[in-house]
Amino acid sequence: MTTRVILVRHGQSTYNAQKRIQGRLDESVLTEQGKADARSVGKALQGLPIDAIYSSPLQRARQTTEEIRTTLGLSLPVNTPETLLEVDLPLWEGKLKKEIKREFPEEYRLWKRQPEAFKMTISTAEGETEHYPIAQLHAQAKQFWQDLLAKHQDQTVLVVAHNGINRCLLSTALGFGPEYYQSILQSNCGISILNFPGAWGEGVQLESMNLTNHVGQSLPDAYEKDRIRILLVRHGETQWNRDKRFQGIKDIPLNENGKSQGRKAAELLKDVPLDFAASSHLLRPKETAELILEHHPDIELQLEPQLEEISHGLWEGMLESEIEAAYPGMLAEWQKSPETVQMPEGENLQQVWDRAIPAWRKIVESAKPGSTGIVVAHDAINKAIVCHLFNLSPEYFWNFKQGNGAVTVIDYPYGANEKPMLKCHNITFHLSEGILDQTAAGAL
């Protein structure tokens, strides 16, 4: 069994609309657009069993929660722990963002580029104290997870909070530090889904992040003029995916459902101006990329052998039951501690990291500022790339789900050699109704 957490950022508030810093100031309320979007979240969640509801105590989050709860027709009580409060920015709260940039230029630069070093010096009657908002918020997020998971094992929990605390909830769950605070996007009324197989510290899977199609936005906006954007796509389904057969570097083509998934991904991306495209050279990602590029006939597909799937060696073509019979205990180790497994006559994950990440870096570094491209690859490769965004090692391999035909949006807002931003992760709404990833859960 698994504890599922549906994490939502509150709807647009009056301060959001005015481009003011909110923090813990509780003067801002939902706009009419914010209320409508919150109801859209409720509609998107219809059919999912909700066992418990948590909200930040600040009114913009509580209003969002109430709109969702009313839309769903739920009578569950709403828990409002202080561990869901927004980031504490006492010197900035209520000010316009343009005022912050003008009055606190160095502090604002740190806030955007080195959030772990960002601090505020607070004057009190007892003297001056140094306040590190993001470090404090990380500790707060960990405490929330510990409390929630102790109470709601094997349940589905709705959590409604804020941009900053949601970022820290995601980062603390997934295993990366406050230096990546600005590397996750949380849109108003964006939905993220995390699956916890056990208690705090026993693993997590990010099923999806920052879904916004229910509020009319298929992909997040690209605000930065010179940013580099890459749409990371996993290939469509193969029959071996459907059968849960390990395929690795076996060159298995798409099945009919996989071709349909490729066409649906193509439809999702048809109006996105593309400047480049790359793919693993194996048939399944190549076919998926070619379906997408039917809407972009001027773009030449570059094949990158270093993006081919992990070699499972002697496991390839086998079902889990056959692997367990031939290699007792090894499959369980792969599922629990994947970084320790050397595939018989195949690869280990560090070898995958060592070839996939340089290939990814080459693509990013060759992209022109302001350009957008697609990279179509495999489950293990895409997991390695997303881990790399946050400097995570192979032990975090299972933290990020990749569905067949899913799309992940990655921006480099300040150029190829600066920290990237994960704008949304594992979008699958174009493949089936509902917010859950319903693609085949087959082997790699």
Q: Which residues are catalytic?
A: 235, 309
Strands (E), 188-300: 191-196, 205-211, 228-234, 276-279
Provide the residue type at 386 as one letter: V
CA distances from 410 to 140, 292, 375, 399 (A): 27, 18, 11, 17
CA distance 382 to 398: 11
Quick check: 156 and 49 in contact, CB under 8 A? yes
Strands (E), 235-275: none
209-246 burial: b if 16+ Cβ within 10 Å, else e: bbbbbbbebbbbebebeebbbbbbbbbbbbbbbeeebb
CA distance 241 to 248: 11
CA distance 395 to 29: 42
Q: Residue length, the chain?
A: 444
Burial label for 283, CB within 10 Å (0-12, 13-18, 19+), is middle
Phi first, then psi: give them for residue 46, nearest 5 degrees. -60, 135
Contacts of 138 (CB under 8 A, 6+ apart): 168, 171, 172, 177, 178
Residue 202 in tokens:
């026993």
